Amino acid sequence: MCTILGSEWPDVTGHFGTIHTGHSDRTNRMTTLPVQLDRAAPVPLGVQLSGQIRELVLAGTLVRGARLPSSRALAADLGVSRSVPEQAYEQLLAEGWVEARPGSGTFVAPTGEHPSPGVRRPRHPKPVTPDLLRLDAGTPWIDPRHAAGWRRAWREVSTARPPRGYDDPRGIPELRVALADRLGRTRGLACDPDEIVVTNGATDGLRHVLAALPAGSVAVEDPGYRAAVETILGSGRSVRDLPATTPVTDLAGLVAAYVTPAHQHPLGRVMPAVDRLTLLESARRAGAVVVEDDYDSEFRYDVAPVPALATLDRGRVAYLGTASKSVAPSLRLGWLVPPADLLGAINARRVVTHEGASWPTQRAFLALLRDGYVDKVVRSARRVYAERAPRVADALAPYAELAGPLAGMYSTWLLPQADAERARASARQAGFEVNLLADYCRTASLTGLVVGFGGATDEQLDRALAALVNGLRG
């Protein structure tokens, strides 16, 4: 364990504290801060360092009052001249993230810990040691047998001519036609291609909806999707917690409610039909928009996917879809079907801001859809999840209670916090990172584990489960 005053780091190996030269002569020097500098990057080293320390403060990893290493020690650890940490500290001092105490050193300033005082945020887990394999809820299984389809799509992009200027702000028309067809086929959602807006993912879609809404607070399920909470707070709005396990009957005073009805994130529950109707009725009474994040609905393996909530009221629901679960989160592609009265404002804003999705990515996704690649990888992944989900259940059911039906690429297990922490520590020892349910809670007090099974091989999953069970046995 590598320690700095005021806080403890997880064991650091590999990339932490390493200067990346961009060449083969990478040094493996350790530092007392989990930062990495890249000499090959165009950004000056001092700016890289101040940016990374700022992020550590924002993430709560560097807590208020923590003493930073002296500029001399940090320079020695990083193998840079002393002026690099000095510049970084000066910048952070000027921005108010750190304070200098003459004779004592540089400390994280009290104001730096919570950028928006008074705003309740979910707890952020500490950064993961880079050599741990993350068994998180967001990493899908991509069948390597379909790699040829992926390559074909990008070859097609390489020979296509990009538009000379900014493209259609709503997204490539042919892609919107293909998405309309797919939404009708897989989600029961009948919409015109011109009602679809291509985005950089579900979270980006939420950002576009927020930008078109009047000022006001937004409700989010608790426990819920942390990126949604951060996005809403980032738009300058406050968040109201909606208990994820009870029907929503009152949205008075809110402009929107963000929900995951097909597969509540992270509890896994499907919103019952009667609750869907109650939610929509509450939204109508309040004049609020319901933002439906339909992130992984294609991955039901027991029954057909539940139709989208948006099919019940297109005028009230903003539908968010993403390629992050079916193809890859790194693609950064998604789609939004907003209510008709927000569509014009969203598109008008995009004409001015050019915040559309990248043309090559859209073009590649169109090729992947036309080629049948997306259907194939979804079918393969569904088969893999259908086989892995019961394996996870067999291992954990003797010790914990499953929070929702088996679906998607993760399952959530209720158990006391101490047991969950013990299981996680045991998984870490074996080289795996598993999330705690408590980290998704704001006011809710649920505890347990969220175990993703998309991002590992079968063999890795077996080892991770054995380690979790070892930890649970105590």
Ligand X SMILES: Cc1ncc(COP(=O)(O)O)c(C=O)c1O
CB 400, min distance to ligand X, A = 21
134 or 376: CB nearest ligand X? 134
Residue ranges of the alpha helices (H) in 59-133? 71-78, 83-95
Closer residue to ligand X in complex, CB, 78/196: 196
Considering the complex, what minimum distance in angstroms separates the CB of residue 48 from ligand X? 25
Token duo for residue 55? 């992020």
Least distance (Å) between residue 360 CB and ligand X: 18
Least separation in angstroms between residue 332's CB and ligand X is: 7
Given the rule CB under 6 A, which of 19-27, 34-42, 201-209, 369-377 is the region that contacts ligand X? Answer: 201-209
* Site pattern 221..250 for ligand X (x: CB under 6 A): ----x-------------------------
Gap between the Cα atoms of 399 and 415, Å rounded? 8
Query: Residue from 19, 37, 137, 219 that binds ligand X (CB under 6 A)?
Result: 137
Q: How far apart are CA 334 and CA 294, in angstroms?
A: 11
Q: How far is the CB of 335 from ligand X (least distance, A)?
A: 10
**447 and 435 in contact (C-beta within 8 Å)?**
no
Instruction: Check: CB of residue 98 under 8 Å from CB of residue 89.
Output: yes
Pairing of the two strands 133-135 and 217-222: unpaired
Q: Which is nearer to ligand X, 323 or 467 (CB)?
A: 323
Residue 295 interacting with ligand X (CB under 6 A): yes
The residue behind tokens 């924002």 is 58
Choose between 276 and 422: whose C-beta lies nearer to ligand X. 276
Kindly state the smallest distance separating residue 227's Cβ from ligand X, in Å.
6
Choose which of 176, 182, 237, 265 interacts with ligand X (CB under 6 A). 265
> Could you give the string, one character per residue 330-369, with x where binding to ligand X holds by CB under 6 A and - elsewhere?
----x-----------------------------------
Closest CB to ligand X among 243 and 344? 243
- On whether the CB atoms of residues 366 and 193 are closer than 8 A, the answer is no
Q: In what order do the strands lie in the sheet with 432-436?
A: 133-135, 432-436, 448-452, 410-414, 401-402
> Of 150 and 225, which has the nearer Cβ to ligand X?
225
Are 33 and 23 in contact, with CB atoms under 8 Å apart? no
201 interacts with ligand X by CB under 6 A: yes
Q: Does 322 bind ligand X (CB under 6 A)?
A: yes
CB of 187 to ligand X, least distance (A): 15
The distance in angstroms from the start CA to the end CA of the chain is 23
Contact window for ligand X (CB under 6 A) among 21-29, 88-96, 183-191, 322-330: 322-330
Residue 324 as a binder of ligand X (CB under 6 A): the answer is yes
91 binds ligand X (CB under 6 A): no
User: Who contacts 30 (Cβ-Cβ below 8 Å, separation ≥6)?
Assistant: 2, 12, 16, 17, 77
**Would you count residue 138 as binding ligand X (CB under 6 A)?**
yes
Backbone angle region of 315, left / alpha / beta, with phi > 0 → left and psi within -120 to 50 → alpha:
alpha
Which of 65, 329, 390, 404 is close enough to bind ligand X by CB under 6 A? Answer: 329
- By CB under 6 A, the count of residues binding ligand X is 14
β pairing state of 239-243 and 217-222? parallel
Determine, following the binding rule CB under 6 A, whether residue 202 of this chain makes contact with ligand X: yes
Q: Which residues contact 280 (CB under 8 A, 6 or more apart)?
A: 290, 309, 312, 313, 316, 317
Q: Please tell me the distance from the alpha carbon of residue 111 to that of residue 471, in angstroms, as a whole number.
A: 38
Q: Dihedral sign, CA of 396, 400, 404, 409?
A: negative
Between 35 and 331, name the residue whose CB sits nearer to ligand X.
Answer: 331
CA 424 from chain centre, in angstroms, equals 20
Site for ligand X in 405-444 (CB under 6 A): none
Residue ranges in contact with ligand X by CB under 6 A? 137-138, 201-203, 225, 260, 265, 293, 295, 322, 324, 329, 334
